[in-house]
Amino acid sequence: MPAPLRIGTDLPDPVGGLDVSGLPVYTLRNLATGEIKVTTDPGRALITGKWKDVGRFKGPILRGLAARAPYFHNGSAATLEDVIRFYDERFSLGLTAQQKSDLQAFLSAL
């Protein structure tokens, strides 16, 4: 999978209860197509200047993850539970309560 990745945090109306109210909002316009994107973080596009890189980020390593809260590039997920809920809802994973608990235990053990 190519990096950087688009992990869904740049999509409009994020689900999962992530509080981004304290973050700046950027309105970007593609000069070639006129397409507009509104985001709290342009991601890799700030470095490359490429439209395709809006909302793309280099994912962090997972070692010691439990000790590095808050999560996401903008700190909008306070706990691992918030991260799991975000991805479950954002990508319609349909995780059961047991699967969420198991995933949280696994991530905490890294």
User: How far is it, in rounded angstroms, from Cα 97 to Cα 110?
Assistant: 21
User: How far is it, in rounded angstroms, from Cα 110 to Cα 95?
Assistant: 20
Look at residue 15 in the predicted model and tell me its pLDDT. 47
pLDDT in tens, 86-102: 889 888 899 999 999 99
To the question of pTM greater than 0.85 for the whole model, the response is no
Residues 6 or more apart whose CB falls under 8 angstroms from that of 40 comprise: 20, 23, 24, 25, 26, 74
What average pLDDT score do residues 10-32 get?
Answer: 72
Domains and CATH numbers, the chain: 5-109 (1.10.760.10)
CA 30 and chain centroid, separation: 22
Alpha helices in 1-110 (DSSP H): 45-48, 80-90, 97-109
pLDDT in tens, 40-92: 888 889 899 999 888 887 777 788 999 999 988 778 899 999 999 988 988 88
Tokens read off for 47: 């470095």
